[in-house]
Amino acid sequence: MQGEPTLQVPVKSGYESGPKPYAPACDRNRDPILAVLRRVLPERGQVLEIGSGTGQHAAYFSAALPHLHWLPSDLPSRLPGIAQWCDQSNSDKCLAPVAIDLLLASLSLPRSDAIVCINTVHIVAWAGVQNLFKAARDCLSPGQILYLYGPYRYADRPFEASNEEFDRWLTARDALSGVRDFDTVRDLAVSNAFDLCLDLPMPSNNRSLCFTRCED
């Protein structure tokens, strides 16, 4: 984004207190993901996290990356849990979460300096992935990045047994979910003015994909 970013004000959420949502996988993958984010995120500005889930990553990454403002987002029903993690984090850079539904055809994202999306592409329907890239194109400026984390299927290598089992579980739960083909995601990125700049193996047969916004 050109110039100073437009930031959400980091205020207490006002949501009713209750048990914080918790996902053990967030504790397992947060440090490997953080190592990659240190490489690819900008030196200052606002990071928009799409699909923040429990809010654990938002609280952890905002504390570990104090030079950045971290804006979590998810469906409205998820916001109270995310807000609890943000309110109780040790970071004043963890901003109040905002509602974002990737399945909205008119999806518009808040202007940011980078976008991070963890374990969402295989959960949301493919239309949501298409909307994400289209909206990210409008949200980001050339040279800024869209980071994706999760499992992918590659045409030139065997599909891992754990990911095959996971894919069956996903599609049984929701026929519109599923582990995405890497080539299909890359082609979608290219059609929306993004170039793949990083593809790294991660624990548990996941990948870190980083796309750079190109000039139009």
Q: How far is CA 110 from CA 5, 46, 193, in A?
A: 10, 10, 18
Helical pair 24-40 and 56-64, crossing angle rounded to 10 deg:
40
Q: Is 24-213 in CATH node 3.30.2080.10?
A: no
Q: Are 26 and 38 in contact, with CB atoms under 8 Å apart?
A: no
* Predicted confidence pLDDT, tens digits, the chain (216 residues): 333 333 443 444 445 456 889 999 999 999 999 999 999 999 999 999 999 999 999 999 999 999 999 999 999 999 999 999 999 887 899 999 999 999 998 999 999 999 999 999 999 999 999 999 999 999 999 999 999 999 999 999 999 999 999 999 999 999 999 999 999 999 999 999 999 999 999 999 999 999 999 998
Cα–Cα distance for residue pair 96/187, rounded to 1 Å: 33
Count Cβ atoms within 10 A of the Cβ of residue 34 and give its class: 0-12 exposed, 13-18 middle, 19 or more buried.
Answer: middle
**Closest Cα to residue 203, out of 23, 22, 25?**
25
The runs of H, that is alpha helices, within the chain are 24-40, 56-64, 79-87, 126-139, 161-173, 182-191
**Closest Cα to residue 69, out of 84, 50, 100, 91?**
91
* Domain segments of the chain as ranges: 24-213
pTM reported for the whole predicted model = 0.92
Cα–Cα distance for residue pair 147/112, rounded to 1 Å: 13
Residue that has been written with the tokens 């009713």 in this structure: 16
**Closest Cα to residue 141, out of 161, 178, 115, 166?**
115
